[in-house]
């Protein structure tokens, strides 16, 4: 017997704010790790830890406001995506 699913409409990965933001931040991270002078001049090494924390906070924020799944499809299109249905949690045992 197959698992029950729910169909959602996914947006293109290329239109995803989370994906685009992470792609830019990964490029900046990679450039900083390679110690490129253009990046080190703007983000001194002592601030890289704070930069990393800011990136993580931004990721948490973007994931909290994201409501649609993203799929690797053509930009500007949507596609149906079957997602496994999650049952509600079991009720807690009553102890009176």
Whether the CB-CB separation of 84 and 3 falls below 8 Å is answered with yes
Q: Residue 51: what pLDDT?
A: 77
Torsion angle, alpha carbons of 75, 80, 84, 88, to 10: 100
For 11, counting Cβ atoms within 10 Å of its Cβ (0-12 exposed, 13-18 middle, 19+ buried), the class is buried
The whole model's pTM is what? 0.56
Q: Residue 1: what pLDDT?
A: 55
Task: Say how many C-beta atoms besides its own lie within 10 A of residue 47's C-beta.
Answer: 12
Domains of the chain: which residue ranges? 5-84
Which tokens sit at 93? 């045992």
| Average pLDDT, 10 consecutive residues per value, the chain (96 residues) | 81 85 80 71 76 81 77 88 82 76
Q: Residue 6: what pLDDT?
A: 85
């Amino acid at each position: 017997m197959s698992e029950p699913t729910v169909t959602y409409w996914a947006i293109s990965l290329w239109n995803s704010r989370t994906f685009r933001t992470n792609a830019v931040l990964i490029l900046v991270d990679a450039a900083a790790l390679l110690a490129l002078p253009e990046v080190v001049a703007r983000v001194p090494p002592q601030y890289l830890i704070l930069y990393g924390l800011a990136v993580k906070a931004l990721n948490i924020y973007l994931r909290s406001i994201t409501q649609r799944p993203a799929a690797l499809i053509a930009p500007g299109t949507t596609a149906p995506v079957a997602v496994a249905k999650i049952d509600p949690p079991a009720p807690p045992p009553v102890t009176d």
